[in-house]
């Protein structure tokens, strides 16, 4: 194979073919496809979000329709005691009787000799009076064992309700 070279004398003008170039724009159908693809992705995301939201609404509605009485009853059982019921619970002055020192399960501080403590009936757990009084205003259960306390007709008797 012989190599061919075109030689032009130095200083002689070279002639190049005339070409017209268009600006670099994508074809029209390519832009339309990108818009359609973006719309499909957007619609898919919206459908997934709507599906998730509707599942949540149906689950919540089902729970409200099928369990209202149990929910109301459980909320009432642990909604707190009235102040007069709480004050009726027995109190005592703490005296350390050997062994390991006792701690209040609410504030986690050690109970010292001479401090006022309150006992809960049946479970006999004891706490600082201030700590358990704040707890019992919003809860009707022992903070240690979670036994529910429900007031009866008498101010001085509380019984444990097993649910």
Instruction: Say whether 133 sits in a helix, a strand or coil.
Output: helix
* E-assigned strand segments in the chain: 91-93, 116-119, 126-128, 148-151, 158-161
Instruction: Please write down the HEC assignment for all residues of 139-161.
Output: CCECCCCCCEEEECCCCCCEEEE
Quick check: 141 and 123 in contact, CB under 8 A?
Answer: no
- Going residue by residue through the chain, which has 163 residues, state the pLDDT in tens, using 9 for 90 and above: 555 555 556 665 666 666 555 555 556 778 888 999 999 999 999 999 999 999 988 888 887 777 766 666 666 666 788 888 888 888 999 988 777 888 999 999 999 989 999 988 888 899 999 999 999 888 888 899 988 876 433 333 333 333 3
What angle, rounded to 10 degrees, do the helices at 68-77 and 28-66 form? 70
Alpha-carbon dihedral angle through residues 74, 77, 130, 108, given to the nearest 10 degrees: -40
Quick check: 137 and 149 in contact, CB under 8 A?
Answer: no
Specify the pLDDT at position 27: 67
- Give the CA angle between residues 14, 16, 22 to the nearest 5°: 150
Specify the pLDDT at position 83: 86
For 58-67, letters b (16+ CB in 10 Å) and e give: eeeeeeeeee
CATH code assigned to 78-161: 3.30.40.10
Structure tokens belonging to residue 72: 């109301």
For the chain, the structural domain boundaries read 78-161
How far is Cα 34 from Cα 48, in angstroms, rounded to an integer?
A: 21
Specify the pLDDT at position 101: 80
């Amino acid at each position: 194979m012989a190599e061919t070279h075109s030689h032009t004398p130095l200083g002689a003008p070279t002639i190049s073919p005339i070409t017209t170039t268009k600006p670099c724009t994508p074809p029209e159908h390519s832009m339309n496809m990108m818009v359609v693809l973006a719309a499909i992705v957007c619609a898919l995301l919206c459908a997934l979000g709507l599906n998730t939201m509707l599942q949540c609404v149906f689950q919540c509605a089902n729970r409200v329709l099928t369990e209202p009485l149990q929910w109301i009853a459980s909320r009432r059982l642990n909604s707190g005691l009235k102040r007069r019921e709480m004050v009726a619970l027995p109190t005592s002055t703490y005296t350390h009787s050997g062994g390991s020192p006792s701690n209040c399960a609410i504030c986690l501080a050690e109970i010292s000799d001479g401090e006022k403590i309150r006992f809960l009936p049946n479970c006999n757990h004891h706490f600082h009076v201030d700590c358990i009084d704040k707890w019992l205003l919003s809860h009707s259960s022992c903070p240690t064992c979670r036994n529910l306390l429900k007031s009866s007709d008498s101010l001085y008797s509380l019984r444990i309700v097993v649910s």
